């Protein structure tokens, strides 16, 4: 312990003497300060010369005024990036106090056309139970059990009568996200690997059966009502859940 203490106490003893020439250092410092001041003066003179030359070049020969060329105007053009949704509706989100907000409306992967609607109509043949009868919905001029182009989707609105019952059957091809199983829904595994989502609801004597099946770029949505006007019950619905799933899963029923 004593050796360590002695070592620390004598660690800085016997330092070599400082060999500093103080008068020489002061003389050198004054010389450097003088050089810097001269250099600064030259820089200021050069800056003034650069500023004056453009002004002289822009002056007119006849008068004493100096004309300075105006700066070019720079305009920025913003190009909107391409979007997959070309249609939009204005709506106000619940709970917000601002003005209307633009909400994108999903678009199908292919244009909606009357020609494609005719092709989809041909696929509907044979999808209803044997002996089923179809008729227009009262007050709706649409030809029963056919597809029509409607905005960004295809739709079919028909009154169907079977041995089980009578009511409206609506079939839609809707663009957007794949369907999801909401609370209370049932799932049916289809032969092609897809899944059908089935849900039921009722209000007083009216019933509603919903079936959704995913397709590229959207889904097939089927509604089965036991009413022909969504107001009066006809008793039993015209299609069972299994029969409605068969309609939604028709091969080729895509955009």
pLDDT of residue 48: 45
Alpha helices in 10-21 (DSSP H): none
Q: What is the CA 194 to chain-centroid distance, rounded?
A: 26
| Domain range summary for the chain, segments of one domain joined by + | 114-248
The predicted structure's pLDDT at residue 76: 31
- Interior CA angle at 111 toward 106 and 116, to 5°? 125
What fold is seen in the domain 114-248?
A: Protein Transport Mog1p; Chain A (3.40.1000)
pLDDT at 230 (0 to 100): 84
pLDDT surpasses 80 at 19? no
Confidence of residue 53 (pLDDT cuts 50, 70, 90): very low
- Residues 74, 79: Cα–Cα separation, whole Å: 16
Bridge partners, residue 221, by sequence: 172, 212
Using CA atoms, how far residue 69 sits from 51, 59, 74, 81, in Å, is: 14, 10, 15, 37
| pLDDT tens-digit map of 108-159 | 999 999 999 999 999 999 999 999 999 999 888 899 999 999 999 999 999 9
Q: Is the dihedral of CA 121, 125, 128, 132 positive or negative?
A: positive
pTM of the model: 0.61
Query: What's the CA angle centered on 93, arms 87 and 99, to 5 degrees?
Result: 80
Beta strand residue intervals within 26-80, DSSP E = none
| pLDDT at site 138 | 86
């Amino acid at each position: 312990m004593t050796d360590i203490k002695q070592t620390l106490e004598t660690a800085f003893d016997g330092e070599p003497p400082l060999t500093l020439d103080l008068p020489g250092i002061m003389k050198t410092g004054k010389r450097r300060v003088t050089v810097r001041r001269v250099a600064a003066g030259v820089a200021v003179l050069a800056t003034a010369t650069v500023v004056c030359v453009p002004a002289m070049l822009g002056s007119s020969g006849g008068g004493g005024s100096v004309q300075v060329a105006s700066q070019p105007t720079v305009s920025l053009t913003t190009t909107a990036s391409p979007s997959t949704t070309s249609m939009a509706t204005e709506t106000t989100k619940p709970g917000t106090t601002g003005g209307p907000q633009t909400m994108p409306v999903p678009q199908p992967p292919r244009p909606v056309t009357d020609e494609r609607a005719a092709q989809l109509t041909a696929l509907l043949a044979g999808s209803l139970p044997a002996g089923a009868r179809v008729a227009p919905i009262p007050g709706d001029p649409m030809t029963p059990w056919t597809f029509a182009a409607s905005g960004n989707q295809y739709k079919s609105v028909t009154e169907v009568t079977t041995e089980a019952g009578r009511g409206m059957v609506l079939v839609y091809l809707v663009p957007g996200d794949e369907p999801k199983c909401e609370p209370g829904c049932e799932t049916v595994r289809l032969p092609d690997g897809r899944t059908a989502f089935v849900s039921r609801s009722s209000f007083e004597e009216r019933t509603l059966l919903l079936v959704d099946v995913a397709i590229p770029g959207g889904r097939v949505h089927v509604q089965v009502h036991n009413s022909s006007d969504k107001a009066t019950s006809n008793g039993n619905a015209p299609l069972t859940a299994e029969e409605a799933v068969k309609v939604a899963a028709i091969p080729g029923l895509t955009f």
